[in-house]
Chains A and B, each alone.
Chain A
């Protein structure tokens, strides 16, 4: 059974940093791209970024709203994806979800999602 478990959320002051983790199980983690989404209270889904599998260079892509502040990385030996969030702003307050990203050219989609972790940025 595929499982994704996020951790690391919490209350943080504006300008500070936070690192989220996504621990995966039930599949060969290194074979998949991993993506992060967020959802502000009462709002829709916003894509944050993704990291390709090592087979595709392990490179990353980010939404314009977080580029330069957030960094996604992965540790395939531990089956963990990370979201390092720096210079946090109040508008980054949201539930953050990690997802398994299926990349099957020419398409992609997100077939499994974690339960989410709440990040609150407030003074």
Chain B
């Protein structure tokens, strides 16, 4: 079974400041095709999750460019260059190589100071 571990579990950020979330997988997400299948989602309060980043670093349609993803193999990072009030919520990383159930990390809650 693959385990996705996020740190920190919560963070409080002043608007305009950067934020960073780490995600580590227990197995490499690098496929033999050369691509790495790691995804990031945001669940805003009272809403359903929304896809932010696919394949480590590509932003999904409509996602602001203050969001960026990086990493390789088993270690990944989601960065927000300048946090805005609308960025609050829970961020989840997801592995897209092995079929569910072991899909999502436990989530990181972002709050505004």
Interface residues of chain A, those whose CB is within 8 Å of chain B, are: 35, 44-47, 50, 61, 63-64, 97, 106-116
Contacts and interface: CB of A to CB of B under 8 A. Distances in A.
Contact of B101 (A64, A97, A114, A115): A64
Contacts, number: 56
Contact of B54 (A45, A109, A113): A109
Interface of A, secondary structure class, is strand
A115 B50 CA distance: 11
Contact of B96 (A47, A97, A109): A109
Contacts of B48: 97, 113-116
A24 to B, nearest CB: 14
A108 B99 contact: yes
Contacts of B39: 109
Interface centre among B55, B60, B100 (most CB of A within 10 A): B100
Interface string B44-73: 000111110011000010000000000000
Contacts of A107: 31, 35, 37, 55, 96-97
Nearest to B104: A45
A50 B100 contact: yes
B33 interface: yes
B27 interface: no
Nearest to A97: B48
Nearest to A108: B96
Given A50-B100, A97-B48, A109-B39, A45 B92 contact: yes
A64 B102 CA distance: 11
Nearest to B51: A111
A44 B92 contact: yes
B103 interface: yes
A-B pairs, top 9 by smallest CB distance, nearest first, are A113-B48, A47-B100, A107-B37, A107-B96, A109-B96, A47-B101, A63-B101, A44-B107, A45-B104
